[in-house]
C-alpha cells in the first residue's frame, strides 16, 4: 500500500504494559537465555550469557529500520516536532496520546507524499510513540518491571542496569552522540519539573511515576559528559512470600515481624545502599492490620502500601530564585502526628527529622523507618552523633532493628535479612544491650533462631497475654507463611487478602490452609 491509502491503515496495536513474566533464578549463569516483552509487540529484553565477554548481558531488541525507513523516520520526526502540541502530550491519557500520534503521523505522511508500507508505518509509529510519549532510547528499560536502577556514566559507554533477578548487567544501549545524551538529560529535567543547565549542572528530582532521578550536565562535573541514574519506582513491590522464594529471609523471621508489627513495636530497618531496606519495608506493610491508619513520609516516593487507609506524603523542594515553598521531612513528620496515625512510616531518617520520629515513638505512635547503617552499633552511633544527635535515653523507645545486607552466595549476588536484633536497653554512655533471636549464617546460607524473645515478653506485659499464647500464635503464622509459599501464592492482592482475612477470621484461614 502506498501513501494514498495511509488514512485507511488500521490503528497500530501497542502495549506499554505487557504482562509481567515469571522469572526463575538460574544459578548457572552460562545457562541464562531469556526473552520477554517490554513494549509489545515491538521491544523485548534479551538476557543471556555472552561467551565473548564471559558475563550475562542485557540487550534491548527493537524493530530494525532500513536506511530508507530511517530517512523517512527523520523526515517525519522533523515535521512532527513542528506541528505537535506538547501541552496535549502532557494532558492526555495514554490511549488518547496513542490516537493523537497516529492521527498526526497519517497527516504528515499524506502531506509530504511519503510512500510507506504498513509494516514500515508500524515501526515508525512505535519509535514516534517511544520518543514523544516516553523516554526515547531508555523507555524500554523504564518499562521493565525487573529493572530497579538505570545507570549511564556518560557518552560512548554502555548503560548499566540493576536487575531484580540477575543484578548488575551491561546493556547494549550506548549514547554515542554527546548532543543526544545532553538532550535526554534535559528531557529528564523537564519531566521532573526541574531545570538543568551549565549554571546549574546537577539534577535531583522525581519523574511523574515516582522514579528518582540524579543527573549531571557538563564535562566540568563528569568527564565523560552528561550522566544519569534512575532509581525506578516499583508499582508492584515484592510480597513476603516472594522474599522467601528468593531466600532473602525465613518464614520464622516473617512470622516474628508480623507479630511485632501487629502489636505496634517500633522498627528500624538498617543496611547499605541497595541492600533491600525499602523492599523489606514494603513487605512489612502487608502485616499492618487492615483497619489501621498509616501515614508515610518520603524524600522520593518509593513505598507502595497495599491498603486504602494510607496517607502518602512526599517532600517538596524549593523552587524559583527565592527558593520558596520547600516542605522537608521534618515539617511533614511533625505534621503527621496531628493526622491521627496508627503507624508512621518514614522512608529514611538521616537528619533532624529523627528527633521528631523518636519523640513520636515515645508518645505512643508506632513507627517503621530505614537508616543507612550496617549493624546495630552503627545505627546507635549514627543516631547519637551529628547531624541527628539523639539522647541515648530516647533510643530506648526503639524495639527492633532489622539489618539487611548485600551478599555473594554461591557466586550469586543476593540480599539477606542478616539479623533481627531486639533493643533491650541503651545506657547513658550510648552502649546498646541487645538480644538477637534471628540470624543468617553466610557459611551455610541458612537462617537460625532461638526461642527467647524479649519483645515477646514486652508484648506479654503490655497486652496481658501469656507467653505460651504468643508462642502458639508465632508457630501458626510460621505455618501460614510457609503454606502460602508452598502453594506459590505470590500475587500482591492475593497475599494481602489472605493476611487481612486472618486478622478478621483466623479459624477460616487455618482451616483453608490445613493448619491445626
pLDDT tens-digit readout, 432-455: 999 999 999 999 999 999 888 999
Tell me whether residue 85 is exposed, middle or buried, using C-beta atoms within 10 angstroms of its C-beta: 0 to 12, 13 to 18, 19 or more.
exposed
Domains of the chain: residue spans and CATH? 3-231 (3.30.450.380), 240-512 (3.40.50.300)
Predicted local distance difference test score (pLDDT) of residue 3: 44
Task: Give yes or no for residue 324 having a pLDDT over 50.
Answer: yes
Cβ neighbors of 68 (< 8 A, separation 6 or more) are none
Q: Which three cell numbers stand for residue 495?
A: 497475599
- Whether 345 has a pLDDT exceeding 70, the answer reads yes
pTM of the model: 0.80
Mean per-residue pLDDT for 97-121?
90
What are the tens digits of pLDDT across the range 180-229? Answer: 999 999 999 999 888 898 888 999 888 888 888 999 998 888 888 899 99
- How would you class 223 by CB atoms within 10 Å of its CB: exposed for 0-12, middle for 13-18, buried for 19 or more? exposed
Alpha-carbon distance of 496 to 100, in angstroms, equals 39
Residue partners of 423: CB distance under 8 A and separation at least 6: 376, 395, 396, 398, 399, 400, 401, 432, 433, 434
Supply the pLDDT for residue 323: 53
Amino acid 321: pLDDT: 47
Summarize pLDDT for 260-302 with one digit per residue, the tens: 999 999 999 999 988 989 899 999 999 999 999 999 888 777 7
Q: What pLDDT, on the 0 to 100 scale, is given for residue 1?
A: 40
| Percent of the chain's residues with pLDDT above 90 | 60
Residue 206: what pLDDT? Answer: 83
> Mean pLDDT, to the nearest integer, of 54-77?
95
Nearest to 288 by CA among 248, 259, 324, 245: 259
> For residue 351, what pLDDT is reported?
85
pLDDT of residue 2: 43
Cα angle: 420, vertex 423, 425; to 5 degrees: 165
- The pLDDT score that the predictor gives to residue 91 is 53
Distance CA 141, CA 148 (A): 9
CA–CA separation, 156 and 383 (whole Å): 42
Amino acid at each position: 500500500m502506498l501513501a494514498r491509502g495511509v488514512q485507511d491503515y488500521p490503528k497500530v496495536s501497542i502495549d506499554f504494559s505487557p504482562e509481567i513474566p515469571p522469572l526463575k533464578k538460574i544459578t548457572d549463569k552460562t545457562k541464562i537465555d531469556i526473552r520477554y516483552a517490554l513494549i509489545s509487540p515491538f521491544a523485548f529484553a534479551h538476557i543471556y550469557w555472552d561467551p565473548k565477554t564471559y558475563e550475562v548481558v542485557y540487550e534491548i531488541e527493537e524493530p530494525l529500520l532500513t536506511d530508507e525507513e530511517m530517512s523517512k523516520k527523520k523526515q517525519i520526526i522533523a515535521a512532527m516536532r513542528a506541528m505537535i502540541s506538547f501541552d496535549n502530550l502532557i494532558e492526555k491519557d495514554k490511549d488518547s496520546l496513542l490516537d493523537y500520534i497516529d492521527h498526526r503521523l497519517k497527516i504528515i505522511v499524506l502531506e509530504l507524499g511519503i510512500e510507506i508500507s504498513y509494516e514500515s508505518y508500524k515501526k515508525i509509529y512505535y519509535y514516534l510513540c517511544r520518543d514523544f510519549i516516553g523516554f526515547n532510547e531508555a523507555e524500554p528499560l523504564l518499562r521493565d518491571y525487573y529493572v530497579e536502577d538505570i545507570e549511564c556514566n556518560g557518552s560512548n559507554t554502555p548503560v548499566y542496569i540493576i536487575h531484580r533477578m540477575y543484578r548488575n548487567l551491561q546493556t547494549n544501549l550506548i549514547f554515542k552522540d554527546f548532543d543526544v545524551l545532553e538532550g535526554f538529560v534535559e528531557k529528564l529535567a523537564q519531566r521532573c519539573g526541574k531545570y538543568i543547565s551549565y549554571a546549574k549542572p546537577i539534577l535531583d528530582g522525581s519523574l511523574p511515576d515516582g522514579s528518582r532521578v540524579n543527573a549531571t550536565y557538563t564535562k566540568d562535573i563528569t568527564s565523560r559528559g552528561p550522566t544519569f541514574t534512575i532509581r525506578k519506582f516499583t508499582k508492584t513491590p515484592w510480597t513476603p512470600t516472594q522474599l522467601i522464594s528468593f531466600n532473602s529471609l525465613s518464614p520464622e523471621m516473617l512470622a516474628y515481624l508480623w507479630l511485632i508489627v501487629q502489636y505496634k513495636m517500633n522498627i528500624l530497618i538498617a543496611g547499605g545502599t541497595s541492600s533491600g531496606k525499602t523492599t523489606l519495608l514494603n513487605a512489612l506493610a502487608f502485616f499492618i492490620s487492615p483497619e489501621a491508619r498509616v501515614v508515610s513520609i518520603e524524600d522520593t516516593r518509593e513505598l507502595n502500601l497495599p491498603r486504602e487507609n494510607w496517607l502518602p506524603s512526599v517532600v517538596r523542594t524549593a523552587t524559583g530564585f527565592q527558593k520558596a515553598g520547600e516542605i522537608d521531612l521534618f515539617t511533614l513528620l511533625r505534621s503527621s502526628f496531628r493526622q491521627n496515625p496508627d503507624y508512621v512510616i518514614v522512608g529514611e531518617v538521616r537528619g533532624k527529622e529523627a528527633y521528631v520520629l523518636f519523640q513520636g515513638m515515645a508518645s505512643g505512635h508506632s513507627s517503621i523507618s530505614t537508616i543507612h547503617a550496617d549493624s546495630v552499633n552503627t545505627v546507635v552511633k549514627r543516631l547519637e552523633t551529628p547531624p541527628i544527635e539523639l539522647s541515648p535515653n530516647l533510643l530506648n523507645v526503639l524495639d527492633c532493628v532489622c539489618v539487611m545486607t548485600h551478599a555473594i552466595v554461591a557466586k550469586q549476588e543476593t540480599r539477606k535479612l542478616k539479623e533481627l536484633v531486639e533493643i533491650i536497653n541503651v545506657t547513658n554512655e550510648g552502649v546498646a544491650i541487645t538480644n538477637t533471636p534471628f540470624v543468617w549464617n553466610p557459611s551455610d546460607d541458612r537462617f537460625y533462631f532461638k526461642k527467647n524473645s524479649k519483645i515477646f515478653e514486652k508484648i506479654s506485659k503490655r497486652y496481658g497475654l501469656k507467653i505460651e499464647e504468643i508462642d502458639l500464635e508465632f508457630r501458626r503464622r510460621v505455618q501460614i507463611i510457609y503454606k502460602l509459599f508452598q502453594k506459590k501464592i505470590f500475587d500482591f492482592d492475593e497475599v494481602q487478602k489472605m493476611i487481612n482475612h486472618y486478622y478478621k477470621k483466623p479459624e477460616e484461614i487455618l482451616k483453608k490452609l490445613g493448619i491445626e
